[in-house]
Structure 1
Amino acid sequence: MQSEGGDLNKETQHGPTRSWTSAAFSRQTGTEAIHPGEVMKLAHREKLELCFSLESIADALPNVDRLKCLGTAKKIVPLLRDIHGFEERVIFPAYEAHLTPAEAKLASTSRLRIEHLEDQCFAGEVAETLLAIGHGDPIESAEAVGFMLRGFFEGLRRHIAFEREHVLPRIVISDEGPDA
């Protein structure tokens, strides 16, 4: 269920939804045995919430909610940095351990790591733009800002789709649908 601010750590009809950070922390500290794939699925949910937030901002241009721009700008870089770090430290080694020698030559994780760097650089630009809008700067070209936001969140969605189709199944986690 999509929330206005994109915070998935709210009550739902099925009880509280866990954030990926609390699951990752529980796993890291050993307070709970959580499969890394489950943590990754939670991270995907939060990245998709970010995409929905960015899409709603793009759709509203030039008449955007400035507070939503500020809130989104504030979380975009740390969210991606932390999720990408977890994927590179925990998920990718688990994935690589399950590849055949022929599959390992495809260098999928190398490409994903490069995409992480590109996404984080692009996230910084998006955050800077959203901060400026949030602080009241005029939107010089709503079309250009819209293209920027759409280019960013569509790239994130493609990255998530690849991980769901190729990485998660290899680390023995089933993906339970588009909202998983």
Structure 2
Amino acid sequence: MKRAHRQKLQLCDALEKIADALPGVDRLHCLGTANAIVPLLRNIHQYEETIIFPAYEAALAGVNVNLASTRRLRAEHVEDECFAGEVTEILLAIGQSETVKNAEAVGFMLRGFFESVRRHIAFEREHVLPMIGIVDWS
């Protein structure tokens, strides 16, 4: 999980760097980032949904808690993957020398995506992982 979060945070940092540089971005960096987004998220989401979330739900079972959190996290995975597809399309276009017509809108889109991913990670670190015995983030 530490590695998964580190990889997602590195992706967020890369997207933030692109957003900050708009409209004069490194096109190769855009292409590389675009090609990494969807596969990275799909792999991590699959791991979370098959390993982490069931462990979290099992830990909560004895506490008699509503499992709305994991339902919401799973829904966020779907939303993130859809949003990742849109971000990928934009980054591929920029990487293939398409002019950035509205840098502010593209930056807003990128920031919306990576801030959502960062919030998801923060929730997992604060609520999910401690319940399954993962607490050391050093």
TM-score band w.r.t. shorter chain = over 0.9
**Richer in helix (by share):** 2
Higher relative contact order (CA 8 A, sep 6+): 2
- Contact 1:62 1:142 (8 Å CA) reproduced: yes
Quote the offset at 1:163 in angstroms.
0.2
TM-score in terms of structure 2 length: 0.96
**In structure 2, what is the Cα distance between the partners aligned to 1:88 and 1:164?**
15
Pair 1:69 & 2:25 matched = no
Aligned residues: 136
Contact map agreement 2:57 2:67 (CA 8 A) in 1: no
Listed as ranges, the matches of 1:133-144 within 5 Å are: 133-144=94-105
Structure 2 unaligned segments of length 5 or more: list them. none
Aligned-partner Cα distance in 2 for 1:112–1:59: 28
Which residue matches 2:118? Answer: 157
Which of 87, 92, 96 is equivalent to 2:48? 87
Identity %: 71
Say whether the 8 Å CA contact 2:38–2:81 is kept in structure 1.
Answer: yes
Deviation at 1:173, TM superposition (A): 1.0
Alpha-carbon distance in structure 1 between the residues aligned to 2:101 and 2:134: 45
After TM superposition, where is structure 1 displaced by more than 2 Å over at least 4 residues in a row?
A: none
Output aligned runs, 1:7-156, within 5 Å: 40-99=1-60, 100-101=63-64, 103=65, 105-156=66-117
Aligned equivalents of 1:151, 1:106: Cα separation in 2: 26
The 1-side partners of 2:23 and 2:106 are apart by 9
Q: Which amino acid aligns with 1:155?
A: S
5+ residue gaps, structure 1, are: 1-39
Q: Distance in 1 between matches of 2:12 and 2:136?
A: 19
Aligned-pair distance for 1:175?
Answer: 3.4
Does the Cα contact within 8 Å between 1:168 and 1:175 map onto a contact in 2?
no
The letter for the 2-side match of 1:72 is T
State the TM-score, normalized to the length of structure 1: 0.74
Deviation at 1:41, TM superposition (A): 1.3
Is contact 2:18-2:25 (8 Å) kept? Answer: yes
Partner amino acid for 1:64? V
SS of alignment partner, residue 140 of structure 1 = coil
Deviates further, 113-122 or 166-175: 166-175
